[in-house]
Every structure is written in structure tokens, then in C-alpha cells.
Structure 1
């Protein structure tokens, strides 16, 4: 599904290549057979608004949004496992899926980075790609709600992904969950996380690392219960 590759590109860190090749994306959106006209227009407006900005301003906005705090992180397992040691095995399992489909990562890429996962899904059959979207739909819904709460235009990308996933999400439960969340991207919150991680680092150095369990799990099975409960299901 080329639509997933387009969204993946729009979710990546903005670079000069996006500005230079934006017309190709506009053309791909105009010829999309999977997106409704309204969804295609939403993505086109997002792309237009993004590329009318100065590149450095767009990059600064992106970093402020996705690289500060964990609530809007584009690392999927950040929302599933946090700092749990299960995250390491989940990374290995997902990387194995990529390799089975001929997708090779370089040393700078983490396999759970959402744009990369979307690029992977874009290589699969439509049924498999939609199934992969449904697996992460609860996370996409929370990210969409958090970004909307911050008045970010990026929320529309997640709304389009949820539309493509064709699955039901309990919006009331999503709203209930984020209503009580404290912002984690403030200077005070970031300092608290840094101090906590320093304590954890020294504790691990003293106690040693335990072996990560070797069980295999699908992406959907790895989603924590608090994320699954906001989904009403979806067939794939």
C-alpha cells in the first residue's frame, strides 16, 4: 500500500529531500485508490502546510514534538514495554519479521520506529498491511489524541492511519486516559526522567543484567492491556 509509504515519509524527520520531491507525493496522493478523497486532501494539505515552512523551523517543531518526553514518541515499543527488558526481545522479533521480507536496517535505525514499521507494512499485501495497522491501532489512537491536545497538525496523519485500519476505537476511553496525563515534555518532567534513569543505570551496574526471556510474540500480543482496552476490535 503506497499510502502507508507516503504517511511514513511525512512522519520522518523533515529534510531537504522532502521539499525537493514534494510534487511526487502530491501526485501519488491524487492517484491513490485506497484513500477516500477527503483523506487524500487532508494529507495534501498537511504536506502543503509543512513544505511552506522554513526547513529549519519544521525540523525544530518536529524535534520538540517527538523527541521530548515519551507520550508522543514514534518508537512503538516505548508505549508497549517502556524500559522493560521485554523490549529487547520484542525488537529482535520485529527485526526478524523485517528480514523475512527483505528489509535490511542500518545501525542507526530502531525497528520499532513508526515510519519504518509503516514502510514495512507498505510492502505487504493489503490484508496483511491492514492487519498490521490494527495491531497498533490503540497506540495510534492515543498518539492522535495527544497530538490533538497539543494542537499539532501531525494528528491528521494518525487519523488517516486509523481510517485505513478500519477498526473501532473507544474514543471515550482514549479521552479518559489522556485527561489525567501530566505533560512529560516540560523541563521539570524531563529533569525528573533523567534523574530516574541515572539511578536505574547505577542499580543495573551493581546488580547485573538478567537474561531476556526468549519467547516469541506477535506485535498485537505485545500491546499492553491498558492499550488493548481502548480498542473495540477489528477484523484482519
Structure 2
């Protein structure tokens, strides 16, 4: 996939993976047109399918599903460093890499969101830092695979969006597959340090 297509795919995914507010619902037609311009393949099909679902779903129901899935189920966590480091002190250092990548691209978060949220990393790519964003996602591919599998088990349409993002990355190697299997079985490391938003999340 060409860089301009990657930026488009990640731009759409960043909107879809954020809380479904007016930005999503007012922009459905524009997003659908952007997706139509992508090359045929899994990424285009998955993004188009979610847009069809969003257009046919009551906005309040979609928002409620988003909160119930991403905010209240630990296993469906959209924060990439969580899978590798859990709520441990090592996670702080990992977050710095994401912060530095955003800052180098001139991208400053102003809404209090953590820099490793998948929607934020996708937006980083959409803003032009494709190589940096893909590297961060590839480094945390095992976590992304666990997230997609958890969303599949929840029968959430968001599984398709995560699958669309995964399809823009290089194929998973044996190490990533082994790590994903271990994380799915054992979960992330445990060492509670009171990091939000995990303190309010239940084991899902």
C-alpha cells in the first residue's frame, strides 16, 4: 500500500477508534468516500463495513457500546503499552517513546489522552509520520493482535477496525505470534501503580 493510502487508512481508523461523537457521525459520507479510494483489500473492506454499521446504528447505542467495550473491559484496552507492561512502572518509560514520536511530528495532545491510544498513533501516521507510527504499532503488534481477538470474542464491530489497521502492517513474525499467545493466556504484567484510566476498569 502506498504511503498516501496508508495515511488515508490510518486517518479513517483514527476517527473510528475515537469516541463516536459528532466528528464521526457528521463525517460518515466523507470517510466513506476516502475509504472508497483505497486499494481493494482487507483494510478497505473492514473500514467500509464499520462505516456501514455506524451509519445504521443509533449514535447513543454506538457510544454506549464504545464505553462498555473500551472503557470498562481491561481485555479490550486501546492503549498499546498496556499489553506489554500492564500497570507497571516500566510503562512510563514506554509512554515516553510515544510522546517523543508525537512531539517530533509537531503533534501535541491537548485533551489529556495518553499518546499510546491506538487512535492517536493512527492519527500520527495520518499527519505524515507514517514510518514512526508503523514502527510503534509493529513493536506492539502482539498487543494489537490480543486486542483484535478480544474484540472478536466480544462480537464487537470494532474488531474490524483493528483488523484493518493490522492489515497495514508487515506480516506478523513467529515472535509476535508467540507473544500474542502468551499475553492472551496470561495477561499483561501486574504491578498496580494507579495509572488512569485502568484503575476504574474491571477485568473483562
What is the TM-score with the length of structure 2 in the denominator?
A: 0.78
The CA deviation string for residues 142-187 of structure 1, in whole angstroms up to 9 with x for no partner, is 1111111111111111211221102225597546753x569xxxxx
Unpaired runs of at least 5, structure 2: 1-6, 195-204
Matched, 1:83 2:87: yes
Q: Specify which of 37, 48, 53 is matched with residue 31 of structure 1.
A: 37
Q: CA deviation at 1:74?
A: 0.8
- 1:58 matched to which residue of 2? 62
**Structure 2 CA distance, aligned partners of 1:71 and 1:177?**
10
Aligned length: 184
Matched, 1:163 2:167: yes
CA-atom RMSD in angstroms? 2.7
Larger CA deviation: 119-128 vs 50-59: 119-128
The CA deviation string for residues 172-206 of structure 1, in whole angstroms up to 9 with x for no partner, is 7546753x569xxxxxxxxxx9xx96xx77xxxxx
**Structure 1 CA distance, aligned partners of 2:183 and 2:131?**
30
Q: Which has the higher contact order (CA 8 A, sep 6+)?
A: 2
Confirm or deny: 8 A CA contact 2:43 2:168 kept in the other structure. Answer: no
- 2:27 matched to which residue of 1? 21
- 2:152 matched to which residue of 1? 148
What is the TM-score with the length of structure 1 in the denominator?
A: 0.68
Q: What pairs with 1:1-236 in structure 2 (closer than 5 Å)?
A: 1-32=7-38, 35-124=39-128, 126-169=130-173, 173=178, 174=180, 178=184, 180=185
SS in 2 for 1:164: coil
Q: CA deviation at 1:15?
A: 0.6
Q: CA deviation at 1:125?
A: 5.5
